[in-house]
Amino acid sequence: MHALVVDDSRAIRSVISRMLREMGYSVTEAGNGREALDKLATGELPDLALVDWNMPIMDGFALLCELRADPRHAEMRIMMVTTETEIERMQAALGAGANEYLMKPFTPDALREKLGILGLATAA
């Protein structure tokens, strides 16, 4: 399984990537939505994208909309991983095609549980 972690914080990307690697994923990182699209344009098709909402250049919601508009990424599971806790934000993301929503901060067990819901890991 391959995951794309998109977050403008290098520290957060590192933490999430480490968690995923410990669960057996290979991981690619991007610092914003534009960088993520550039990496995907090289032909890389991850099984999962974990996307922060608030980022410069291209935010996570714009990235979500771009990914869902492209049939090449129809099978990719997208999880918003963000500090945005308002129900309206969550509804907007799910309505735009996010498969799950995980609020920061979170534990490895919470991530594993969400991956289990997506059929990408055994929920502990």
Report the pLDDT value the prediction gives residue 124, as an integer from 0 to 100. 41
4-27 pLDDT tens trace:
999 999 999 999 999 999 999 999
pLDDT in tens, 40-80: 999 878 999 999 999 999 999 999 999 999 999 999 999 99
Rounded to whole angstroms, the Cα distance separating 43 from 20 reads: 21
Instruction: Note whether 51 and 78 are within 8 A (CB).
Output: yes
**Claim: this prediction has a pTM higher than 0.75:** yes
The token pair that represents 108 in the structure block: 């490895």
C-alpha angle 29/62/118, rounded to 5°?
60
Are 12 and 34 contacting, i.e. CB atoms less than 8 angstroms apart? no
CA pseudo-torsion sign 50, 78, 102, 63: positive
Are 61 and 96 in contact by the 8 Å Cβ rule? The answer is: yes
Q: Determine the pLDDT at residue 86.
A: 85
pLDDT in the model for residue 123: 40
pLDDT in tens, 104-124: 999 999 999 999 999 997 444
Binned at pLDDT 50, 70 and 90, residue 83 comes out as confident
Domains recognised in the chain with CATH numbers: 2-114 (3.40.50.2300)
